Amino acid sequence: MNDHRTVGIIMIEDDEGHARLIEKNIRRAGILNDLKHFTDGTTALDHLFEAADGPAKNGPALVLLDLNLPDMSGTDILARIKAEDSPLKRTPVVVLTTTDDKVEIQRCYDLGCNVYITKPVNYESFAQAIRQLGLFLSVIQVPEIED
């Protein structure tokens, strides 16, 4: 089954301002893929694994994940997505967070994150980082979900 469905972008980010900035700059980079925004881990996980139009049932996706969420840690979500028995284990996950703690960065890579981006505090650098992420998203190849 190789119909090259467009990759859906799942953004898990509780800060509305950051979410708007991320979406605006992804769009500015010419990425028109469907983008779904979740503000907490519970709803996001439910969509990822259970929703009929979610990645586990409907394939391929890319996850933009903030680590600091109101209801659970982003690393827990990352661990669930990348678990050995997860249908989403090959789904690319881009961690976007304000934490530049080396231990946290290593932990995310150990859990299987594909890219770790620290949100610059400065608005312009953040916008620039997201524009570059948009360019990255325009060329990235995402594996199909296996049935």
Interstrand relation of 35-38 and 61-65 (parallel, antiparallel or unpaired): unpaired
Q: Residue 3's pLDDT is what?
A: 43
Q: Residue 145's pLDDT is what?
A: 65
Predicted model pTM: 0.88
CA 38 to chain centre: 11
Order of strands across the sheet that contains 8-12 = 35-38, 8-12, 61-65, 93-97, 115-118
From first CA to last CA, the distance across the chain in angstroms is 10
pLDDT tens for each residue of the chain, 147 residues long? 334 457 889 999 999 999 998 999 889 888 888 999 999 999 999 999 999 999 999 888 999 999 999 999 999 999 999 999 999 999 999 999 888 899 999 999 999 999 998 887 787 888 888 888 877 777 777 777 665
Q: Residue 63's pLDDT is what?
A: 95
Q: Which of 128, 125, 48 is nearest to 93 (CA)?
A: 48
